[in-house]
Structure 1
Amino acid sequence: MRKPLGVLALVLGVGGLGLWARAYNAHEIEQKITAEAAGIVAPAIHGITSTVSGRDITAKGIADTEAEKSGILAALNGLPGRRVVHDQITVLPKVSPYEMSLTKAEGAEALTAAGSVPSEAFRKDIAALPGHPDPGPLVLASGAPADWDRLVKAAAAALQPLDFGTASLTDDRLVVTGQARTPAEADLVHAALQDLAADRVEVRLDLLDDGTPPEWHFSYDAFSGAQVSGKLPVGLDEKTISAATGIPSVYSPAHQALIGEPGHEAALLGVLAPWFPSVERLNANMAPGKAEIFAEVGPGSNTALLTETLQSGMKAISPELDVSVTVQEVAPRGDEGEQRTNAITGQTEELRGGYWLPVANITPSLTECTAQADAILGRSTINFVSGSDQLSADARAVINQLASVVLPCTGTGGLQAKIGGHTDATGDAEMNLGLSQRRAVAVRKELIARGIPAGDLRAQGYGASQPVATNDTEEGKAANRRTTIEWTGEGPQ
């Protein structure tokens, strides 16, 4: 009896040991397969995972290409001891051509991105590039060139110096377009791309300032106003031109220089400012160290004096300036009695006897005519060349204003005007009396030329006999050198 029991115990012991050994080996095999499978999928670009149950392997995730997927599955199938490999790997779509763009909008600091990205890791890298592009819109896709990261980094760096622009990548080519302020910014763009092969890069930039010297053209027309074109120097724009010339509005299709230092341009235009009320047309071509002025003025202007005045005034501001000034008298445009609004003064003017005269808002009477004539002569002096009866270059505009009052006052107003000439007390009294008479006659002649009947005008010289200020100071002497209007007649009945 003991012998059969012993045999049974031995058989059971041996069988149990075999079952234990088999289970132990299976666990070891599973652990080994798990470790080896993890090593096979670890290099996958997009993070493929492997799980092992018993000796069955499940591979799950995204392969970059069919070749990567096939290689992983073949390696898993070659593992010793594996039973079945379950394929749950999808292949990333491949795009061709492989494209991506980075865009810098005007006024924006951050770049925007569009197109494809080769991996999630690369998506994170993009966000850290200059300009911190938002990689969110990028679509995960395979097909990128081997040095795609290098191209993208260069593209982001190239956009930084631009006001705005786009870097477009297509396979292994990069095209950068946009606007740079000056050649210095354009050089920075090229520097960012210098490590790339020249045949793989194209740069198309617009420069706000190409570095050429500023050359510009200023034009004025009494009918239509002022315009400036070309390339304006630093510190000069339509606002500074308007302030310098007194012209209320300046049309400017010109562009602005960004390189250089402000010059004397505004001051040079300021030399022209006092003369615009007498100018019909004016053109000025300006360049560094050079100014060409061509002006057309109406009848009654002293063109020689005006030419000399403009030239000497500009030379005083910029002695090294090469100045050319041409002033010529032209017949007025328009028909007798036609009206216009003067572009610089804003006054309504009427063409009378070949002169554009301001239209005075006046109801003629002795009191009103005296007040308006005195106001004109109080704020503006009719000047003469020193020691002579030759009217100065700026006298025409004052006489035009005076004529606009004298015309209605002697016409519908029925008054007569006596033009008085006055000097200071410097020099011989008798010579001053004669000079004042000749100057009064010169003013009378100009008023007659503007359509005022000669019979309504008299000229009287007073010399220094009627001072309005002391002759002991230059200011007082200047005040005493004047023209006056005295009215006679009863006026409208």
Structure 2
Amino acid sequence: MLVLGVGALGWYGSTNNAKTMEAEVTEAARAAAEGTVHPVMTRVSGRDIVVSGVANGEAERDQILAAMNDVTGRRVVRDELRVLETASPFALNASKTADGVTYAGVIPTEVDRATLAARIGAAADDLDLMAGAPDSAWTGVVMQGLDGLAPLQDGTMDVSDRTVSLTGTARTPAEDAAARAALSDLPDGYDTSIDVTVLDDGTPLRLAMDLAEDGAVTATGKVPAALERSALTEALARDFDGELAQSVLPPATDGWADASKIGAEALGKLHSGALRMTEDSLTLTGAATPDAKAEAEALLAGLPAGISASSDIALYDDGAPFSLEMAKGDDSAAPTGKFPADLPAAEIIGTRPATGIRNAFVSDETGSFATVASNGAEALSQLENGKLTVVGTEVTLTGTAKTPTEADAAMALLGDLPEGYAATFDIATRDDGTPPNFDVTYLADQGASVSGKLPAGLELSGIAGALGLADVSGEPVQGLIGEATQATEQLNAVSGWLPELETMTFNSNDDVVTVTASAAPGVDEGLVTAGLTEALGANASVTVTAMTDLPDDGATRTNRATGRAERFTNGFWLPVLDFVSDAETCEAQSTAALQDDKINFVSGSAQLDAQSVRAVNAVAAIVRKCLAETDLNVEIGGHTDSQGGDDLNRQLSQSRAEAVRAALIARGVAEADITATGYGEDQPIADNETAEGRAANRRTTITWYEPVAEAEEAAAEPEAGADAAADKDNTTNAGE
């Protein structure tokens, strides 16, 4: 208690009455109690002051009492103050766990408690009211510290004197930043110590998976903690490279993990592609077969609610251009290539094996490839052998065509290609396309040689066969066009006349035939000309002249048309014979000669026809030899059919027999040893009622006889006349 001096009281009492003094002391005491940390109450009785309330420590108590003692007029100061203990350090702790926040520590004032209570509730009641707060800003700093603790998932906030410590765990950088921001503007003199572990980077869930054409998959992103890598691997049906961060945050959309597995499974269906997922959307792009595309799109249709899906899946293509390679030839391989999806192989390659053709999954939007490939296949068909290659817009056709006509047709098919296409050609031709034009040059003693261009199918052996020759020589060009049949028929027509020719040039120019020839000695060139013209037809031009450059008498040769050895005798080519002459042999030889070659006449006349010369030459050689080597004589008999009168027939037969006799005499047969007799129709050998019989009856006969016996018989029966000739021993017939 404070005791005022007696002198002062005496002075005061002398100047004021008691009530006035009490009021003044009361007012002065109240004023002295202002400005304390905690509420301080004063009560004045008379001049005594009673001080009660809370003093914020001994120092403040001393200050309060000193102030009361300084009140003028006071008598006694009675101390009823409650002095707070001083906390050192002056600290408050807040600990945050999954169960909530707990608080421990001190509070500077009840006002501050009330302030904190508004924030932390009843927990503020458990704080100890103590002195020692470093300043009046301390409670505000605590509030800032609590603001820093609030964003954290867990942690501890301590305010100790003027140091604020914050430790704990933030779920994302956003919470970490919020915590730090709360403590970024502390009053001067305050320090901070912040140690916050950030559990998550704060970015949203995401998944990026890329499937390369080689099947490799890489992945990046951030997925829920509950989504295991193995689940994505199983969905993809393959492993993948890359790291996935796992979020501590729950997905913003339920079913995110399931959606990611569905997306991964859909990606695994593609040939190549990309999967992109965000918090609420899934996008799938890439390329796939039609079936795989349908499967992937069906999977995306089953995404959980809340996840939107979009896809852009093209049909897979390996990037190689559409192509076709096909060949024509004996050992051609099956066509190969890549066709648009909607182009059937058979439409281009027909019935060829299609095992080497694969259809892409994409179509040719322009339709140009089908046109080019079809035209190319048709162009290849024009060639005899070759190869067609279509790669993208480049077309190549190589090979061999029969003629320029086929080559031009092939190139024309590829001459007007769609825009952007280009064609190159390397086509040889086996035939120059000109009509067949060949010459056969024949020499009776050398045979035939061929030059020029033959029609298709006509070879040297065919020419030899058509001409009746053993062979022909020459190196003609083998043509691939023209008709071998027509040329063969023309040569066949000529072959029957070769024995009558010494030389011949046969030219066949397409369907026009020109024959220039020289007739063998004794052959009527006019008759040969007429015969060849008739045989060859209207398109033939025939010129036959007489042989002027004759060989020396005695010259020999082998006639290539007949195969006979011949000797030039008396201006004629007669066969060289080798037999022993007697009546029987001579008759056999003459019979054989007239069987091989007939003696015929121009109709209604005694003129030998052109082809009878070969028979006459053969008979002449036999008769010459037999007459020279025996005592035989020979009779030439002429015979007719029954058409016409007897006298006319007998006269005609006599003239024809004499014509043959004259021809034989011209060839060196002794005139005295040969006779001619016309028998008319008297000695038929066949029925004259038929054409065949009449033809057989028109004939020339050769009869061998011994002249002495003939003479005696004639003397004994002179009246027999011409009829006696029919009884001669050896007679040979030659039909007309």
| TM tier, smaller | 0.5 to 0.7
CA gap 1:101/1:281 in 2 versus in 1, 3 angstroms: farther
Residue matched to 1:286: 508
Aligned to 1:80: none
Instruction: State how 1:309-320 maps to structure 2 within 5 Å.
Output: 309-315=531-537
Q: Following superposition of structure 1 onto structure 2, how do residues 297-336 of structure 1 map, counting pairs within 5 Å?
A: 297-315=519-537, 321-331=538-548
Distance apart, 1:454 and its partner CA: 1.8
Partner of 1:373: 590
Q: Give yes or no for contact 1:358–1:400 (8 Å, CA) kept in 2.
A: yes
Q: Does 1:466 align with 2:683?
A: yes
Deviates more, 1:165-174 or 1:306-315: 165-174
Give deviations 1:241-274, integer Å, cap 9, x for gaps: 566544454666441426xx89865544443332
Distance across 2 between alignment mates of 1:54 and 1:428:
126
Q: Distance in 2 between matches of 1:424 and 1:148?
A: 81
Give the Å deviation of 1:111.
6.0
Alpha-carbon spacing, 1:436–1:204, altered in 2? closer, same or farther (3 Å) = same
Deviations 1:213-245 (A, max 9, x none): 555544444322363743537x87667756654
Structure 1 residues 28-47: aligned runs within 5 Å: 32-33=207-208, 35=209, 37-38=210-211, 41=212, 47=214
Among candidates 214, 227, 236, match of residue 450 of structure 2: 227
> What are the within-5 Å matches in structure 2 for residues 5-404 of structure 1?
32-33=207-208, 35=209, 37-38=210-211, 41=212, 47=214, 49-51=216-218, 52-55=240-243, 104=327, 106-110=329-333, 130=349, 158-167=379-388, 175-181=396-402, 183=405, 186-195=408-417, 200-207=422-429, 215-222=437-444, 223-225=446-448, 227=450, 229-232=452-455, 245-247=467-469, 249=471, 253-257=477-481, 266-287=488-509, 290-315=512-537, 321-331=538-548, 337=554, 339-360=556-577, 362-404=579-621
Aligned mates of 2:413, 2:525 — CA distance in 1? 57
Question: Which AA in structure 1 matches 2:583?
Answer: L
Q: Does 1 or 2 have the higher relative contact order (CA < 8 Å, sep 6+)?
A: 1
Which amino acid counterpart does residue 413 of structure 2 have in structure 1?
A
Identity rate, percent: 28
1:176, distance to aligned residue in structure 2 (A): 3.0
CA–CA distance in structure 2, aligned partners of residues 160 and 348 of structure 1: 54
SS of the aligned residue for 2:656 comes to: helix
Partner of 2:733: none
SS in structure 1 of the partner of residue 584 of structure 2 = helix
Please give the alpha-carbon distance, in whole angstroms, between the structure 1 residues aligned to 2:551 and 2:354: 63
Normalising by structure 2, we get a TM-score of 0.45
Contact kept? 2:581, 2:630, Cα under 8 Å: yes
Shift of 1:305: 1.5
- Matched to 1:418, the amino acid is E
Whether the 8 Å CA contact 2:634–2:703 is kept in 1: the answer is: yes
Deviation at 1:474, TM superposition (A): 4.0
- Code of the residue aligned with 2:627 in structure 1: it is T
Q: SS in structure 1 opposite 2:602? A: coil
Structure 1 24/108 Cα, relative in aligned 2: closer, same or farther at 3 Å? Answer: farther
Give 1:367 shift. Answer: 0.9
Change (3 A) 1:456 1:409: farther
> AA paired with 1:365?
D
Cα deviation for residue 374 of structure 1 reads 1.5
Q: Which residue in 2 is equivalent to 1:442?
A: 659
Alignment RMSD: 5.1
CA distance in 2, matches of 1:17, 1:398: 135
Q: What amino acid sits opposite 1:53 in the alignment?
A: D
User: What CA deviation, in whole Å up to 9, does each residue of 1:79-133 have, x standing for no partner?
Assistant: xxxxxxxxxxxxxxxxxxxxx99673532443688xxx9xx999xx9x9974679
Larger radius of gyration: 2
C-alpha contact 2:500 2:610 (8 A) present in aligned 1:
no
Deviation string, structure 1 residues 322-380 (Cα, Å, up to 9, x no partner):
44221112257766555544334333444444433334453322111101212322454
Distance apart, 1:298 and its partner CA: 1.1
Read off the aligned partner of 2:243 and give its amino acid letter: R
SS of 2:386's equivalent in the other structure is: strand
Contact 2:597–2:614 (Cα < 8 Å) also in 1: no
Distance 2:511 2:541 in 1: 12
Distance 1:419 1:350 in 2: 24
Asked whether the 8 Å contact 1:228–1:250 carries over to 2, the reply is no
In structure 2, give the amino acid aligned to 1:255: G
- Contact 2:467–2:495 under 8 Å retained in 1: yes
**How many Å separate the matches in 1 of 2:94 and 2:401?**
103
> 1-side partners of 2:388 and 2:96: how far apart?
88
The verdict on how the C-alpha distance between 1:402 and 1:229 changes in structure 2, with shifts beyond 3 A counting, is: farther
Q: CA deviation at 1:396?
A: 0.8
- Ranges in structure 1 where 5+ consecutive residues have no aligned partner: 57-75, 77-99, 137-146, 316-320
Cα contact 1:102–1:156 (8 A) shared by 2: no
Unaligned runs of 5+ in 2: 1-92, 102-152, 155-167, 173-196, 219-239, 245-273, 275-322, 358-367, 708-736
Q: Is contact 1:245–1:269 with CA below 8 Å preserved after alignment?
A: yes
Asked if 1:480 corresponds to 2:697, the answer is yes
Q: Distance in 2 between matches of 1:263 and 1:332?
A: 36
Contact 2:627/2:633, CA 8 A, preserved across alignment:
yes
Residue 142 of structure 1 is matched in structure 2 by none
Shift of 1:290: 3.7
Q: What SS does the corresponding residue of 2:513 show, helix, strand or coil?
A: strand
Please state how far the C-alpha of 1:205 moved relative to its aligned partner: 3.4
SS in 1 for 2:531: helix
Q: 1:427 to 1:348 in 2, by over 3 A?
A: same
Equivalent residues of 1:161, 1:186 under 8 A apart? no
Distance 1:369 1:107 in 2: 62
1:462, CA displacement in angstroms?
2.7
Give the superposition deviation at 1:152: 8.3
Aligned match of 1:419: 636
Provide the C-alpha distance between the structure 2 equivalents of 1:413 and 1:112, rounded to a whole number of angstroms: 83
The offset of 1:397, in angstroms, is 1.5
Verify the 8 A CA contact 2:328 2:381 in the aligned structure 1. no
Shift of the alpha carbon at 1:135? 7.7
- Of 204-213 and 440-449, the range deviating more from structure 2: 204-213
After superposition, the C-alpha distances for 1:49-93 in whole angstroms (9 at most, x for unaligned) are 34453439xxxxxxxxxxxxxxxxxxx9xxxxxxxxxxxxxxxxx
How far residue 406 of structure 1 moved from its aligned partner, in angstroms, is: 2.6
Higher mean alpha-carbon deviation, 374-383 vs 16-25, is at 16-25
Equivalent in the alignment of 1:70:
none
**Which amino acid is 2:700 matched to?**
T
Q: CA deviation at 1:299?
A: 0.3
2:81 is matched with none
Q: Which moved more, 1:458-467 or 1:161-170?
A: 161-170
Question: What is the distance in 1 between the residues matched to 2:339 and 2:657?
Answer: 94
Quick check: 1:444–1:459 contact (8 Å CA) kept in 2? yes
